[in-house]
């Protein structure tokens, strides 16, 4: 019984670690895409979105980082289409 409980707890720990790794990877990819988009259309507002996403990454908030970077990139792309 104790062995099963230990195995269940270890499996949750491994799953959580894998999820965090994916979040870090997604954050890094979204920041790269945003940085590439910024190289073609740089404004202080766009830079502010990049800094916010990067600050979230520095605070180890990878899901928030990816979300902020994605939103900033989409906003940038939408503004250039207008």
Residue 81, classified by CB atoms within 10 Å of its CB into exposed (0-12), middle (13-18) or buried (19+), is: exposed
Q: What is the pLDDT of residue 9?
A: 63
Q: What's the predicted TM-score (pTM) here?
A: 0.70
Q: What is the rounded distance in angstroms from the CA atom of residue 22 to the CA atom of residue 45? A: 28
pLDDT in tens, the chain (82 residues): 676 767 666 666 556 555 668 889 999 999 999 988 887 766 666 788 889 999 999 999 999 999 999 999 898 888 776 6
Name the DSSP class of 37.
Answer: H
């Amino acid at each position: 019984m104790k062995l099963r409980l230990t195995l269940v707890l270890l499996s949750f720990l491994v799953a959580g670690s894998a999820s965090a790794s994916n979040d870090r990877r997604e954050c890094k990819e979204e920041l790269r895409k945003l940085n590439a988009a910024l190289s073609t259309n740089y404004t202080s507002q766009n830079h502010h979105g990049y800094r916010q996403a990067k600050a979230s990454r520095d605070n180890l908030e990878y899901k928030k980082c990816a979300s902020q970077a994605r939103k900033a990139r989409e906003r940038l792309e939408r503004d250039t289409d207008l």
